[in-house]
Amino acid sequence: MYLNQKEEDMSNGEYGETVRKSMDILIALGEIYDAPNLVDITSAQVSGVSYKTIGDAGLEYLEDLANDEKAEATVTSTLNPPGIDLDNWKKLGFPEDFSIKQNKIVDAYGSLGISKTCTCTPYLVGNVPRFHDHIAWSESSAVAYVNSVIGAKTNREGGPGALAAAIVGKTPMYGFHLDENRLAKFSVDVDTILKGADFGALGYIIGQKVGSDVPYFKLKNNPSNNDLKSLSAALASSGAVALYHIENITPEYENADENIEEEITITKEDILNTRANLSTTDKEPDLICLGCPHASLEEIKEVSNLVEGKTIKNELWICTSINVKASADRMGYTKIIENAGGHIVSDTCMVVSPIEDMGYEIIGVNSAKAANYVPSMCGLDVIYNDLQNLVKFI
């Protein structure tokens, strides 16, 4: 891979040890994927944050990188969710040992100049690239959203690749950075009107069918941004979709269907069957967990309207970023939800937190990604349904 003089100097350690290690990662990636050169990026989003997934080895690695005073992120960079609510872990009952290690991980990232804004929806809280910007993001649901809905260009980075890109300010030029790889291979004709959790079910079906290829949807009704958030997460988790197009909706849809190789039709029955199959039990959930991907202010408002003046029967968490929670606090939604017995949980989520050690057995979710991951990553049962059908009152 071609390196200019400054990149050569970075690679030779003239900008410090952490930059040198970061260049090693970017060069290795570039050589694996035959990238001709590095490209400047405007934004990074770094996964590999939860102590549950990276453990002590990850913590040591990050603290070692952070010891280099010269190391500093050079582009707008945010973190993926950690395993706890960083401010309220005690009140919410997160285990103490886990929480102490988790805070050290986030502090190490902070020392590297990565914003301690921890969210899988960075596009809702200020890490918002422009159309056709090259970026390096690693949270898979956010990658699908930012490529498809915003039209920025990123591969599905791993945590180390995204961190290296944040520090160097560049990423190898391959995959979805190249226009020729952004065309659809599958056309998906959706034969029914979609609402709420239907979008997650659609993403779940199509992710399984297309794997890492690009689908081109023809929908009967316009999705909201929250629907697109759910669709992106489901496509990225049941398959490995990093980019999709929706006719007349997403910014690159025109001509994206030039190379279609296979056509798929999705019926109402397909959606209903998938919705039913995503639940692993028909018992009552003991915890309802919303906000996968992290809830927007509109989604929190919807919950607030639903529960106002009532008492919720099950436990309820709404996972979101600290930034959206601050807006919900100011709007009075947090108080309404807390008065009904629910909690707005910042930073973390039902998948990356140690929820299996907190006494819960059945989790109610309205996200197909969470329905897919809670059984496999937490070993718990799930119920998949719309918000209105999950929340019960005393």
Q: Could you tell me the smallest distance in angstroms from the CB atom of residue 174 to ligand F3S?
A: 25
| Closest approach of ligand F3S to the CB of residue 193, in Å | 25
**C-beta of 362: minimal distance to ligand F3S in Å?**
17
- Helices and strands (DSSP H and E) totals, the chain: 15, 14
Compute the least distance from the CB of residue 369 to ligand F3S, in Å: 5
Tell me the CB-side half-sphere exposure of residue 238, using CA atoms within 13 A: 24
User: Beta strands 287-290 and 362-365: pairing type?
Assistant: parallel
**Residue ranges that bind ligand F3S, judged by CB under 6 A:** 80-81, 120, 141, 233, 292-294, 319, 349, 351-352, 369-370, 373
| Least Å from the CB of residue 229 to ligand F3S | 9
> Which DSSP state fits 384?
E
Considering the complex, state which of residue 71 and residue 351 has its C-beta at the smaller distance from ligand F3S: 351
Cβ atoms of 139 and 238 within 8 Å: the answer is no
Q: Write down the least CB distance from residue 227 to ligand F3S, Å.
A: 15
Identify which of 165, 73, 118 has the alpha carbon closest to the alpha carbon of residue 352: 118
Q: Which is nearer to ligand F3S, 81 or 169 (CB)?
A: 81
CA distance 120 to 351: 12
Rounded (10°) angle between helices 96-111 and 51-66: 40
Q: Is 215 exposed, middle or buried (0-12, 13-18, 19+ CB in 10 A)?
A: buried
- For residues 130 and 93, what is the distance between their CA atoms, to the nearest angstrom? 39
How far is 194 from 202, CA to CA, in rounded Å? 9
Supply the minimum distance, in Å, between the C-beta of residue 292 and ligand F3S: 3
Q: Which residue has the tokens 């690679």?
A: 11
Q: Cβ closer to ligand F3S: 140 or 171?
A: 140
Q: Which of residues 263 and 386 has its CB atom nearest to ligand F3S in the complex?
A: 386
Q: What are phi and psi of 237, to 5 degrees?
A: -100, -35
173 vs 374, beta carbon nearer ligand F3S: 374
Length of the chain: 394
- Tell me the C-alpha distance between 339 and 324, whole Å: 19
Of the candidates 305, 304, 284, the one whose C-alpha atom is nearest the C-alpha of residue 360 is 284
Is the CB of 1 or the CB of 118 nearer to ligand F3S? Answer: 118
Nearer to ligand F3S, 19 or 351 (CB): 351
Of 142, 111, 175, which is closest to residue 43 (Cα–Cα)? Answer: 142
Give the helix/strand (H/E) hosting 199: helix 198-210
Between strands 343-346 and 315-320, the pairing is parallel
Q: Nearest distance from residue 23's CB to ligand F3S, in Å?
A: 28
Cβ closest to ligand F3S, residue 162 vs residue 352? 352
Least distance (Å) between residue 350 CB and ligand F3S: 7
Rounded to the nearest 5 degrees, what angle is found at the Cα of 374, between the Cα atoms of 370 and 377? 125
Question: Residue 75 or 368: which CB sits closer to ligand F3S?
Answer: 368
Structure-block tokens of residue 237: 């988790």
